[in-house]
Amino acid sequence: MRYLRMHFYSGEARPRTNQMRILSFGWTSDLLLSGKKTVTRRMWKRPWVKEGDLVQAWSKGPHRGGRKLGVLRITKVSTEYWTPDFRLTEKESMLEGFEGWAEFEHYIQEDKSKCLLGNITRIEFEAIGELK
């Protein structure tokens, strides 16, 4: 029996493939490449990755003209619930690649499409080889 997965855009079931998933880091590619960023957060209805998965890191999606930066191993996946008054610790902000909460908050507020509310998937990762 072949496992089926839901296609992200169409919602239809398709056979599972062995291709690596892609995580794009558009706004934070420089933080990833510098080695400062080891955690990312996504607004997913359910986690698309699990601990131990290998994923491709891209500057932005390949369909948007991005480029592959390297390969990451997922080390931990968890879910957080964010409310409007939610605040990351300084340590968590630094794992995101920022100097602290104030810089991370400024980054989120620059563009309302990055507004994080509700269930947030927290993804911790490590680089496999060099990122470039």
Domains of the chain from N-terminus onward: 19-128 (3.10.400.10)
The pLDDT confidence band at residue 11, using thresholds 50, 70 and 90, is: very low
Q: 57-85 in b/e burial notation, b at 16+ Cβ within 10 A?
A: bbbeeeeeebeebebbebeebeeeebeee
Residue 43 has pLDDT above 50, yes or no: yes
Cα–Cα distance, 39 to 51 (Å, whole number):
13
Average pLDDT of span 15-41: 89
Picking from 90-94, 117-121, 127-131, which range would have the lowest pLDDT averaged per residue?
117-121
Q: Is the pTM of this model over 0.85?
A: no
pLDDT digits (tens, 9 = 90+) for 57-115: 999 988 899 999 999 999 999 999 988 888 889 999 999 999 999 998 888 877 655 66
Residues 6+ apart with CB under 8 A from 28: 37, 40, 96, 97
Tell me the pLDDT of the chain averaged across its residues: 85
